């Protein structure tokens, strides 16, 4: 299996440097990964480094907690796209989900998706599935499909558990071909990546991209 085109080559550590980003982008270009995923601070540099290549630049919004206000998330999206991001990985408001405030959850996802689509870019909604019940996952997925998000993403990798095969299979079933799945959080080996792809993932978010394709 050729894994290169599945990988979002990722570095989101709070202490990552410009040199780290430059290495990430060199590796992504060399191995023709689908995208790099970098902190908002580094988007402009990553966009410059990936210019004239098929590697997309992704960044995170409301990361990793998700409980920033909707207007602040929208401003993050606008700035990131202006600086060169073509894919937005945005965290849902988990506090609102757990509080049963589904009007807020719906408005948040709708607003983030609209802000991204108005700029002609793609959005991945991060569910942070390890913190949600299956009923909550099903309800959030329903909202995402209604708002026509491009990707359902399992996890930030920063809040407890990461991706599991079971949750990827669940998301794939719920999406029913209307959204793609990104598995993220704790995927470090080729074998793991292949299992997630077989389960239905169409992107793999990982900081171990080079190790994964090397087996």
Active-site residue (options: 73, 147, 153, 172): 153
CB under 8 Å to 103, separation ≥6 — which residues? none
Q: Is 8 a catalytic residue?
A: no
End-to-end CA distance of the chain: 11
Active-site residue (options: 73, 121, 147, 182): 182
Active-site residue (options: 8, 73, 89, 172): 89
Q: Is 73 a catalytic residue?
A: no
Q: Is 153 a catalytic residue?
A: yes
SS3 per residue for 78-133: HHHHHCCCCEEEEECCHHHHHCCCHHHHHHHHHHHHHHHHHCCCEEEEECCHHHCC
CA distances from 82 to 90, 116, 207 (A): 16, 11, 25
Catalytic residues: 89, 153, 182
């Amino acid at each position: 299996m050729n894994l290169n085109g599945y990988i979002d080559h990722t570095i989101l550590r709070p202490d990552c440097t410009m040199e780290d980003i430059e290495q990430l982008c060199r590796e992504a270009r060399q191995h023709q990964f689908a995208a790099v995923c970098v902190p908002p601070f580094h988007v402009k540099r990553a966009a410059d480094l990936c210019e004239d290549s098929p590697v997309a630049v992704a960044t995170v919004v409301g990361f990793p907690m998700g409980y920033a206000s909707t207007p602040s998330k929208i401003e993050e999206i606008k700035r990131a796209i202006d600086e060169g991001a073509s894919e937005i990985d945005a965290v849902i408001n988990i506090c609102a989900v757990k509080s049963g405030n589904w009007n807020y959850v719906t408005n948040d996802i709708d607003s983030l998706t609209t802000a991204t689509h108005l700029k002609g870019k793609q959005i991945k909604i991060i569910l942070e599935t390890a913190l949600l019940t299956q009923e909550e996952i099903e309800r959030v997925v329903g909202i995402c499909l209604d708002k026509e998000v491009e990707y359902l993403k399992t996890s930030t990798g920063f809040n407890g558990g990461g991706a599991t095969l079971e949750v990827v299979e669940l998301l794939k079933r719920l999406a029913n071909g209307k959204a793609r799945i990104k598995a993220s959080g704790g995927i470090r080996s080729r074998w793991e990546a292949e299992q997630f792809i077989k389960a239905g993932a169409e992107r793999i978010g990982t900081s171990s991209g080079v190790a994964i394709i090397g087996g």
